[in-house]
Amino acid sequence: MADTPQPPGTLPPGTPPGTPPPGSAPAERPGNREDQQIHLTAVDEFLAWGKENSLFYLLFATACCGIELMQAGGPRYDLDRLGMIPRATPRQADLMIVAGTITHKMAGRVRTLWEQMTEPRWVVSMGSCANSGGPFSKWSYSVLNGIDKYVPVDIYIPGCPPRPEALIDGVMALRARVRRYRTLGERDREPLVVGGADAPFGCHFPKDAPPGARS
Amino acid sequence: MTVEATTPSGERMTLNMGPQHPATHGVLRIVVESDGEIVASCTPDHGYLHRSIEKIGECVEWPMVVPYTDRVDYVCAMNANLAYCVAVEKLLNTDPAAAVQVPLRAECIRVLVAELNRISSHMVAVGAMAMDTGAVTPFLHGIAQRELVNDIFEKLCGQRLTYNYVTVGGVAFDLYPDAAAEIARFLDQFEIEMRRFNKLITANAIFRDRCAGVAAVSAAEAIAWGLVGPNLRASGVDYDVRRDDPYGIYERLQVRVPVGQGFAGRRGKVGDCYDRFVVRLLEVQESVRLCRAALAMLPPPADGKPADPVGGFQADVKKLLLRPPKGEVHCRTESARGEMGYYLVSDGTKVPYRVRVRTGSFSAAGIFHHVMRGIFLADVVAVIGSFDVVVPEIDR
Amino acid sequence: MTVIAIGTAADGAPAGPGFGYTVDTLAAWLAGGQAPGAFATGVAIVVAWVVPMLVLVFPLAALGQIAERKIAAAIQRREGPNSAGLDGPLRLLCRAVLFFLPRPRQDRVFERLSALPVVRTVLATARRIGLGQLLADGVKMLGKEDIVPADADGVVFRMAPYLAMVGAFLPFCVVPFGHHLVMLESPVGALFAIAASGITVLALKMAGWGSGSKWSLLGGMRAVAQLISYEIPVGLAVAGVVLWCGTMDLHAIVGQQYRDGALTLLGWNALQSPFLLLLACILFFAGLAECQRTPFDMAEAESELVSGFNTEYSGLRWGMFAMAEYTEMLLVSALVATLFFGGYQSPLGEQWIVALPVWLSVPIHAVLLLLKMLAGFGLMMWIRWTLPRFRVDQVMRLCWLSLVPLCLLALLGLAAQLLCAGGATLGVPYGRLPARLQPDLGMVGHLVGWAVPLLLGGVVVRAARRRHGQMHPALRQLTGGAP
Amino acid sequence: MTQAAPQFATLPFATLADRARTVCAAATSRTTDNGQPFLLVPAADLPALAQFLRDDAALRFDALMDLTGFDLLKYPKAETPNAIAVLYLLFSYRHRHRLQLRVLAPRELCTVPTVSAIWPAALYFEREVFDLLGVTFTGHPSLQRIMNPTDWEGHPLRKDYVYPDAYHGVAHLREGQHFETNPPRAGDPPPPAAAPKPPGGHA
């Protein structure tokens, strides 16, 4: 298995699901590696464990992806398993899932909501409309092509709408990033694309997936 | 309990509900003038999800518009597809040379998926209204049922929410082998589940008192303000496009139309929030009956020949669809939120000249200003829920 | 019907600062024989008050929050939190204990430790029931940015959560957890409990006003209106029990509910008279309104007021409001249990517990009271995830037009019952029939006491139902009845 | 609840047009290119005709199902290409018959009298037609944009509309994103020969 030629960018099998495919994230910057954290303390790691297991997401569903976000909170996929409850006010939310199309008229509000959230905060861009305007990027005059023009995005989840499993895959990738959050350490701001361009899209792979595909 | 529009304490406070507000379904913003508890006046503000579907309709070819109709009403996307495809077929039929005959099996599949999607759309509508009045559990039970419908649709056309399944001249794929059995199983367990759902929330005294007599819309008002669908029928107007202006094979299925009769009893009025809630639940029962009728009428598949007039699932429209005849057509179908009217203008080229879609939520949003005067702040939320407003249908 | 003489100083408690048996004995023991000084009293008070709080109430409130999410998940047919176990704290413990080892070695030790079968099963079950979820929430809130909105009133904004905690924890001083396990044996315990829980009103209004946002202002106004008006039914319900038991000392009230024989249950106040049962339900229902639980949670109604008075709160301040709410729920359940359902006494056979030595009977009593509190707690959560929310005017109409009249009716009935049937009251001098006029009807009086009010109640309910009208045929068909 | 199908006094288009002409003589009945009949009405006497259509016992058009419009600029062989057609799709719940009124508004002086006093549903429809097509409805109580932000220039559904290249200083397209000229965009750069595909990452 190990010596079969791997397509570029795929991960060796057995890596934890949350880690980003090498192709999508830039080379690790020097200050970012585990043992080079200057203020690495056990308590910081424990605080990160707390943050990872209790990400309250902002109730912010605009379009079709909003319905998939509700389904992800519903009985079958249940984001509450991961400790994520929807909060109505940005003050009590750590994570903003921008689910759906953001038009120019709405863009300013997205920025205000992000500013009202309390640090440490993360942004997940769910769906192609939020990533890059999606099906409306070419012919629509009123749709903002990508919310990263207004707010810093941590995780991009492609799909129109992405399945709840893809959303949870994105959340697991975000949890991997939150696990590395150090209060005084340097935050990695590089955006990460779930199921990036070179890895096959989607998080649940048909049985006859190519050998190199992520498990 | 009539409360005059000017609040008793006199001084006004402007509250801004939305565009990100737990109760407004999506990005609907309402500026409320109130003294804190009683609403003096409210002005909705739209356009936060205006994706210009109608302008896109003038840039893409005829069959490419279908995926965008999914995104006009993503809660009930099958009906949205069906509305556009029936309109284009009617446009093609105006010229006898380009007439299109949809196979019987495709018509049955269309009714089947449209009614199933109406069920799952009403479950979200009814659940969201219950959540607006504070009961979270019915919403999650509603979503659980919606998941089962999503499974069926996923096997059918690969997508859970925006299906792009109904195409001009038929449907994209035939039913998978045990689709009929699976749908029948779903319908049986769904009826049992609905009884429990109704005991939990519909017959609940607190919920009934919360919605009884709130924002009652008389029949004349509903017609004048252009309400359609469940909102119109709850006000006592007995009109349903599937029965009174039938398309496809709806005239062969006896469509029974539930009408609002002041279900809330002593304190309720015809056309109040509770009536709209109950009419949707009665419509869900009708849809279950229609699904079973469509399953019974389903002819066996014509193995191999998609365009077979009886067993096929797709009429042969490839060359016809390239250039529909020049002219205009107005066509209406009954979506979950009422009459979805398409006005198509074709100039004989591959690209539509004008695609106009009139949706039920647009006129429902129009009546907010008229209806939400003198009610409580908590009722503003219940009224929005009762009109079952989906924001992309308003903003398109 | 023997009544154990539960005097305060009667059974030879040592002379102490007079705060009650527990504090006095502690102070005397600390002072080692001579009269306890200020320091010994202070330490005794702190230990007597802080230990029950930290050991009994605080963890229960914390576990309550986890239970709430698990119960909500069960009702909504979903899984509930099952990803936060105890692996995080265990890893921190390993790092702390093995501070001398380099990090990779510490990680290897942790892996080997968590691979042990016993530890693995403990970690797995903790993860499955979501034991670490509240710890994770608390730890995350610790790390959140501390925001005080610009146009907020700083001092008021910061004080509100602390006052909310005070209002929730203070009334626990008078709740007896065991024969002498009560922090403050005051002869006016019931009155103190109601008064102390009034502080929460102030805290909510401060939060509403202090946050400087319209939504929280509305939430604060609604909270004040609701809590103040529901103090009346709570007060009247407690007054009914005081009228029946003749004393306001919670310790004595619990003592009165003691009966010999297997079924101490029969001695409970709630089963003494239908009016007392009605008052028990009213106290529980009004208690729900006191802690703004559905169907009375308009103060923090998510769907209308975004998040009511705690819209602007984030991080640990918001956590304090949540902890105060859950502690208040425990307080209401404790009061209902103490006043109506026999406090710390076991329902079946109290005498064998009393016969046990003190160091065994007191913990058992405490556990029994905790179980009754948990029962009330679970009922509140069940109600929350089933019922929708009242509107503001319906809450007020319910309080003033139905709960208060019902309470007054119940008081009237109790007084009539006391006059004619001579209820089981400890010798309270005032207002009693002269002994010779007091017919001791015993069981017959008891049965008549139950039959007459129930008949009257049935007539009233049937009339109301007829006036309200039948359910619409379409609704009956929807809920599965005959169309 | 099986309802018997009630009978309706549905009138064909010809009788509807004749009765309408009794009130507004200038109304001419026309058909579209594929034979759909409609009534072409001059803008001036639209309110009077609308009032009559709604109040007349035999017509009773109590519902304005749709009020929309389209730009005739690029319609092949349109008689008045320099106009915007405003359509009124009327329906009568009482008699179950339909009628389409059409008013041609010239592009420069694009004003049509409002019918919101007769059918309140027109309040929102007229605001949308004003926003997307630029037809001002005189007498409308609050005629302002409903879809686009209030400071949006131009009316998007007109055939000669040019897409803006930025809004509030934020570029409309992403860097490296370019489309050929359909639809026309402001400041369209000449299409580059072949956009180099960025290595590894996706566009």
The neighbours of chain A, by the rule of 3 or more Cβ pairs under 8 Å, are B, C, D
Q: Residue C194: pLDDT above 70? A: yes
Residues C149 and C252 in one domain: yes
Please tell me the distance from the alpha carbon of residue C330 to that of residue C333, in angstroms, as a whole number.
5
Residue C381 lies in a domain: yes
Helix (H) or strand (E) holding D166: strand D166-167
Q: B135 CB near a chain A CB, below 8 Å?
A: no
Q: Among B365-369, D3-7, D186-190, whose mean pLDDT is lowest?
A: D3-7
A75–B143 C-beta distance less than 8 A: yes
Q: CA Rg, chain C, in Å?
A: 25
What are C440-476's pLDDT values in tens digits?
A: 556 676 777 788 888 988 998 899 888 877 788 888 8
What are B278-294's pLDDT values in tens digits?
A: 999 999 999 999 999 99
What's the mean pLDDT when you consider all of chain C? 84
Q: How many structural domains are present in chain C? A: 2
Residue D10 pLDDT: 85
Please tell me the distance from the alpha carbon of residue C451 to that of residue C457, in angstroms, as a whole number.
10
Residue C64 lies in a domain: no
Please tell me the distance from the alpha carbon of residue A182 to that of residue B183, in angstroms, as a whole number.
51
CA closest to D149 among chain A residues: A105
Domain range for C155 is: 145-429
Q: Are strands B13-17 and B39-45 parallel, antiparallel or unpaired?
A: unpaired
Contact A99, A155 (CB under 8 A): no
What residues of B are in contact with residue C220 (Cβ under 8 Å)? none
How close does chain B come to D71, measured CA to CA in Å? 9
Chain centre distance of CA A202: 14
Q: What percent of chain B has pLDDT over 90?
A: 66
Measuring CA to CA, which residue among C297, C298, C152 is closest to residue C213?
Answer: C152
- Find the CB nearest D167 among A8, A104, A138: A104
Residues C234 and C105 in one domain: no
Restricting to D residues 135-154, those with a Cβ less than 8 Å away from any Cβ of B are 145-149
Residue C261 pLDDT: 77
Please tell me the distance from the alpha carbon of residue D86 to that of residue D135, in angstroms, as a whole number.
8
CATH tag for B53-394 (out of 1.10.645.10, 1.10.630.10, 1.10.10.1100, 3.40.50.300): 1.10.645.10
What b-and-e string marks burial along C143-154, b requiring 16 or more CB atoms within 10 Å of the CB? bbeebbbeebbe
Helix (H) or strand (E) holding D65: strand D63-71
Q: Residue A8: pLDDT above 60? A: no
Phi-psi region of B73 (alpha: psi -120 to 50; beta: other; left: phi over 0): beta
How close does chain B come to C306, measured CA to CA in Å? 7
Residue D194 pLDDT: 60
Bridge partners of residue D83, in order along the sequence: D106
- Find the CB nearest A103 among B50, B74, B146: B50
Q: Which two tokens stand for residue C116?
A: 């042990």
C80–A94 C-beta distance less than 8 A: no
Please tell me the distance from the alpha carbon of residue D111 to that of residue D104, in angstroms, as a whole number.
10
Q: Is C115 exposed, middle or buried (0-12, 13-18, 19+ CB in 10 A)?
A: exposed
Q: Which two tokens stand for residue C82?
A: 């099952």
Q: Among A102-116, B120-134, B307-321, D92-106, whose mean pLDDT is lowest?
A: B307-321
Tell me the C-alpha to C-alpha distance, in Å, between residue C134 and each of A51, A84, C81, C371, D13. Answer: 11, 12, 10, 21, 71
Residue D160 pLDDT: 87
Chain centre distance of CA B340: 8
What residues of B are in contact with residue D65 (Cβ under 8 Å)? 226, 332, 339, 341, 358
Q: Is C396 in a helix, a strand, or coil?
A: helix
Residue C305 pLDDT: 61
First to last CA, chain D: 59
Look-up: residue for tokens 């008279």? C273
Residues C318 and C397 in one domain: yes
Q: How many CB atoms lie within 10 A of CB B250?
A: 22
- Kindly indicate the confidence band of residue D183, based on its pLDDT and cuts at 50, 70 and 90: confident
Pick B371 or C185 by higher pLDDT.
B371
What's the mean pLDDT when you consider all of chain D? 86
**Can you tell me the mean pLDDT for D108-130?**
93
- Kindly indicate the confidence band of residue D145, based on its pLDDT and cuts at 50, 70 and 90: very high
Residues C360 and C255 in one domain: yes
List of residues 6+ apart from C269 with CB closer than 8 A: C241, C244, C245, C253, C256, C257, C276, C280, C339, C340, C341, C342
A142–D163 C-beta distance less than 8 A: no
State the number of CA atoms in the 13 A half-sphere of C454 facing the CB. 9
Q: Is C378 exposed, middle or buried (0-12, 13-18, 19+ CB in 10 A)?
A: middle
Tell me the C-alpha to C-alpha distance, in Å, between residue A80 and each of A168, B262, C66, C81, C195. Answer: 11, 39, 12, 5, 38
What is the maximum alpha-carbon separation in chain C?
Answer: 87
Residue A12 pLDDT: 64
A49–C136 C-beta distance less than 8 A: yes
Residue B24 pLDDT: 55
D177–A149 C-beta distance less than 8 A: no
C303–B23 C-beta distance less than 8 A: yes
Bridge partners of residue A99, in order along the sequence: A61, A126
Phi-psi region of C20 (alpha: psi -120 to 50; beta: other; left: phi over 0): left
Residue A203 pLDDT: 36
Q: Is B243 in a helix, a strand, or coil?
A: helix
Please tell me the distance from the alpha carbon of residue B347 to that of residue B58, in angstroms, as a whole number.
11
Task: Tell me the H-state helices in chain D.
Answer: 13-23, 46-55, 122-133
- Find the CB nearest D200 among A23, A138, A139: A23
Question: What residues does each domain of chain B span?
Answer: 53-394
- ipTM > 0.90 (yes/no): no
How close does chain C come to A210, measured CA to CA in Å? 31
Residues C150 and C124 in one domain: no
Residues C110 and C211 in one domain: no
Residue type, A34: E
Look-up: residue for tokens 């309709």? B57
Q: Residue C13: pLDDT above 70? A: no
Please tell me the distance from the alpha carbon of residue A99 to that of residue A80, in angstroms, as a whole number.
18
Residue C462 lies in a domain: no
Phi, psi of D74 (to 5 degrees): -105, 15
What is the maximum alpha-carbon separation in chain B?
Answer: 74
What are B370-394's pLDDT values in tens digits?
A: 999 888 888 888 899 999 999 999 9
What's the mean pLDDT when you consider all of chain A? 77
Helix (H) or strand (E) holding D137: strand D136-138
What residues of A are in contact with residue D183 (Cβ under 8 Å)? 139
Please tell me the distance from the alpha carbon of residue C256 to that of residue C253, in angstroms, as a whole number.
5
Contact B206, C390 (CB under 8 A): yes
Please tell me the distance from the alpha carbon of residue D203 to that of residue B9, in angstroms, as a whole number.
59
Q: Which two tokens stand for residue A191?
A: 């955006």
Residue type, B135: A
Residue type, C19: F
Phi-psi region of A146 (alpha: psi -120 to 50; beta: other; left: phi over 0): left
- Whether cis (ω within 30° of 0) applies to the bond prior to B19 is yes
B370–D121 C-beta distance less than 8 A: no
Q: Residue C338: pLDDT above 80? A: yes
What residues of C are in contact with residue B133 (Cβ under 8 Å)? 303, 388-389
Measuring CA to CA, which residue among B217, B264, B210 is closest to residue B378?
Answer: B210
Residue type, D122: A
Residues C255 and C384 in one domain: yes
According to DSSP, residue B199 is labeled I
According to DSSP, residue B38 is labeled B
Please tell me the distance from the alpha carbon of residue B52 to that of residue A141, in angstroms, as a whole number.
7
Please tell me the distance from the alpha carbon of residue A20 to that of residue B351, in angstroms, as a whole number.
42
The D-side interface with A (CB below 8 A) comprises: 147-149, 156, 161, 163-164, 167-168, 170-174, 177, 179, 183, 200-202
Q: Residue C343: pLDDT above 70? A: yes
Pick A19 or D178 by higher pLDDT.
D178
What's the mean pLDDT when you consider all of chain B? 90
CA closest to C147 among chain A residues: A118
Q: Is C103 in a helix, a strand, or coil?
A: helix
Residue A17 pLDDT: 61
Please tell me the distance from the alpha carbon of residue B354 to that of residue B347, in angstroms, as a whole number.
9
Contact C298, C346 (CB under 8 A): no
C405, C429, C453 - which closes a domain: C429
Residue B84 pLDDT: 95
Q: Among B35-39, B259-263, C102-106, whose mean pLDDT is lowest?
A: B35-39
What are B331-371's pLDDT values in tens digits?
A: 999 999 999 999 999 998 889 999 999 999 999 999 999 99
Residues C109 and C241 in one domain: no
**Can you tell me the mean pLDDT for C380-385?**
92
Look-up: residue for tokens 């131009």? D154
Q: Residue A39: pLDDT above 80? A: no
Residue C16 lies in a domain: no
- Kindly indicate the confidence band of residue C417, based on its pLDDT and cuts at 50, 70 and 90: confident
pTM over 0.90: no
Q: Which two tokens stand for residue B293?
A: 């009728």
Residues C185 and C99 in one domain: no
Q: C483 CB near a chain B CB, below 8 Å?
A: no
Q: Is B271 in a helix, a strand, or coil?
A: coil
**Can you tell me the mean pLDDT for D81-107?**
92
Phi-psi region of B161 (alpha: psi -120 to 50; beta: other; left: phi over 0): alpha
Q: Is A57 in a helix, a strand, or coil?
A: strand
Phi, psi of D31 (to 5 degrees): -130, 150
Please tell me the distance from the alpha carbon of residue A101 to that of residue A135, in angstroms, as a whole number.
10
Contact B340, B355 (CB under 8 A): no
Number of H helices, E strands in chain A: 5, 6
Q: How many CB atoms lie within 10 A of CB D186?
A: 11
**Can you tell me the mean pLDDT for C201-210?**
90
Q: Which domains does chain D have, with CATH numbers?
A: 13-149 (3.30.460.80)
Q: Are strands D98-106 and D37-40 parallel, antiparallel or unpaired?
A: parallel
Residue type, B222: A
Q: Is B339 in a helix, a strand, or coil?
A: strand
Residue C441 pLDDT: 56
Pick A160 or C183 by higher pLDDT.
A160
